[in-house]
Amino acid sequence: MSNKTISSALISVFSKDGLAPIVKKLNDLNVTIYSTGGTEKFIKDLGIDVVPVEDVTSYPSILGGRVKTLHPKVFGGILNRQNHDGDVAELKEFDIPQIDVVIVDLYPFEKTVASGASNQDIIEKIDIGGISLIRAAAKNYADVTCVSSVDDYTEFLELLESKNGETSEDDRRQFAAKAFNVSSHYDSAIFNYFNKNNEIPSLKISENNGKVLRYGENPHQKGFFFGDFDKIFTKLHGKELSYNNLLDVDAAVNLMLEFKNDAPTFAVLKHNNACGLAQRDTLHQAYVDALAGDPVSAFGGVLIGNTEIDLTTAEEIHKLFCEVVIAPSFSPEALEILKGKKNRILLILKDIEMPQTNVRSCLNGVLVQDRNNVTDTLEGLKAVTKTIATTEELDDLIFASKICKHTKSNTIVLVKNRQLCASGTGQTSRVDALNQAIHKAQSFKFDLKGSVMASDAFFPFPDCVEIADNAGITAVIQPGGSIKDQLSIDYCNENNIAMVMTGTRHFKH
């Protein structure tokens, strides 16, 4: 492995934060510094000598600054192979300076897009010279050190100080890897901006915020999370979230967004499904009734409310062993109580929109689909039976439909008085899902007489509505669409059951 002593550096950056100590250290090491535009002025203002790139290329910055470093004398200085006699001779022949370090920080393309700027402003933030310098320097890591982001300034300064301006090939290769990470992420962001309507069937996903988890679903599996967790949550307390915690938190947030502006609503989730959910006049009562839906499964679950958790609610929650509690806010008194368990994770859910695309691995590729943004509403229901659902039943039907949408298929959800009585989840047969739900509700002493049933897909036969009728269920919501819909409708008409259809299936695999 060959070590290199830095004798020259090209600096052209957008962000100057943290740059001054690097420039001063390079100057102390007698490194010749080349620069352009605003960076050149910044270095001069530090009282440090700098060679303008224009003096090397004999060309000024042209086209409104679009072309400054794009020149053979610049890229020849970066891309030459220092152990290649032909390259060394050409540098001398064409008066090309050797460049040992390239420091670049790209125009902030993603931040400009996120700011809502005009298309023209966004286009101007597509860096050309900077990205080219990064690729060239990283390619030639055998001889050149590439510092490709403001995020790497500190590490590079520490390297300069600890090795007195000398770099190893391992050092340069590591910076090259970081550089190609920067360039690939940057290009992905630009592509996704141009392909926002998915006219080109190509998937580019790039996440720079990576976190190593303790393990995956099981201890023998490695696990990672890539994403900006802090954009969605403020973590107030507790241990690190696990792979399974994150999956449950995702399910909890997506479910509770259905009730974002509703009356106080509380849910308890286990293995991505709601095992308890209720809506009441107070969050305290909503929690008590949600817990009653399945106090056994709630052990070790994820809890979420749609409004601030107050002291009385916190005192009830504190009696339960739970992994995570999520809410828009916590009162100071509630927070003090809930912090009583050192490992309990407390999260504030920020006012955000979840991604509009769902991505999951499949075989040797990925599946991508639009987010399921359809929520069944009273206005969208079609009454298909002679018996018309009451106002109370309609409210419960919509409530049940929201839960059903976020429960693993095949699923049946039973609700009474805006409280989840039970659900049958992830069954291969819809009849099995219904029987599971009824058995579970009865085991926790729910009276299903007058309750309602939601199904994520149609009934191909009337068996489900017959079983529901025998259990005391009086109203049903389902998408419809079976060629045998009339069989279920006929049974309901003969037995005074109200049925409404939504026209929208809510499979969740």
Q: Report, as an integer, the average pLDDT of 437-457.
A: 96
The phi, psi pair for 153, rounded to 5°, reads -60, -45
Q: Report, as an integer, the average pLDDT of 13-18.
A: 91
| Percent over 70 (pLDDT), the chain | 100
Q: Report, as an integer, the average pLDDT of 447-476.
A: 96
Please report the pLDDT score of residue 94 as a whole number.
Answer: 84
DSSP 241-271: PPHHHHHHHHHHHHHHGGGTTSSSEEEEEET
Please report the pLDDT score of residue 143 as a whole number.
Answer: 94
Q: Report, as an integer, the average pLDDT of 75-86.
A: 88
Catalytic residue, chosen from 16, 25, 139, 237, is 139
The HSE-up count of residue 211 (CA atoms within 13 Å, CB side) is 13
Helices (H) and strands (E) in the chain, counts: 19, 23
Question: Could you tell me where the DSSP H helices lie in 293-390?
Answer: 311-317, 332-338
In this predicted structure, which of 58-67, 125-134, 157-166, 244-253 has the lowest mean pLDDT? 58-67
Q: Is the model more confident about 58 or about 34? A: 34
At residue 1 the predicted structure's pLDDT band, cuts being 50, 70 and 90, is low
270 counts as catalytic: no
At residue 435 the predicted structure's pLDDT band, cuts being 50, 70 and 90, is very high
Secondary structure of residue 45 in the 3-state scheme: helix
List pLDDT tens digits, range 101-118: 999 999 999 999 999 999
Please report the pLDDT score of residue 67 as a whole number.
Answer: 76
DSSP 280-319: -SSHHHHHHHHHHT-TTTTTTEEEEESS-B-HHHHHHHTT
- Please give the model's pTM, rounded to 2 decimal places: 0.87
At residue 72 the predicted structure's pLDDT band, cuts being 50, 70 and 90, is confident
Q: Report, as an integer, the average pLDDT of 355-368.
A: 92
Q: Over 60: is that where the pLDDT of 278 sits?
A: yes
At residue 269 the predicted structure's pLDDT band, cuts being 50, 70 and 90, is very high
Catalytic residue, chosen from 16, 24, 204, 271, is 271
Q: Over 80: is that where the pLDDT of 123 sits?
A: yes
| Percent over 90 (pLDDT), the chain | 84
Would you call 182 exposed, middle or buried from its count of C-beta atoms within 10 A (0-12, 13-18, 19+)? buried
Q: Over 60: is that where the pLDDT of 262 sits?
A: yes
Q: Rounded to whole angstroms, how far apart are CA atoms 216 and 456?
A: 29
Q: Rounded to whole angstroms, how far apart are CA atoms 366 and 16?
A: 39
Q: Rounded to whole angstroms, how far apart are CA atoms 326 and 309?
A: 9
271 counts as catalytic: yes
At residue 59 the predicted structure's pLDDT band, cuts being 50, 70 and 90, is confident
Q: Report, as an integer, the average pLDDT of 322-333.
A: 97
Q: Is the model more confident about 83 or about 478? A: 478
Secondary structure of residue 167 in the 3-state scheme: strand
